[in-house]
Amino acid sequence: MKTINIHDAKTHLSRLVEEAANGEGFVIAKAGKPMAKVVPLEEVQPEKKRRAGFLKGYAQIPDDFDTMFAKEIEEMFYGERK
């Protein structure tokens, strides 16, 4: 890994960053003392997009879904009505 002094790094930053992105990292030094290391980023994998309807046909929803168990739920809240 090559070492670049801070003045040269400021002067040639665009080229150095491009080289780092291509896998050629480098160290920035000040008065010969290493101060920072520039390395390429790991490529981020994009999240897979979710597909709407991919389970279509695996389950059936009854027509009375919105009112299912309404009587039982009412009894739990209010008790049995006569």
CATH (domain of 16): 3.40.1620.10
In a domain, 12, yes or no: yes
Q: Decide: pTM greater than 0.95.
A: no
Structural domains in the chain (count): 1
The stretches in the chain having pLDDT less than 70 are: 44, 81-82
CA-CA-CA-CA dihedral for 19, 20, 23, 25, to nearest 10? 120
Q: What pLDDT, on a 0 to 100 scale, did the predictor assign at position 34?
A: 95
Q: Which residue is it, tokens 């400021």?
A: 10
Radius of gyration of the chain (CA): 32
In a domain, 44, yes or no: no
Residues of the domain holding 15: 2-38
Instruction: Give me 58's structure tokens.
Output: 């695996």
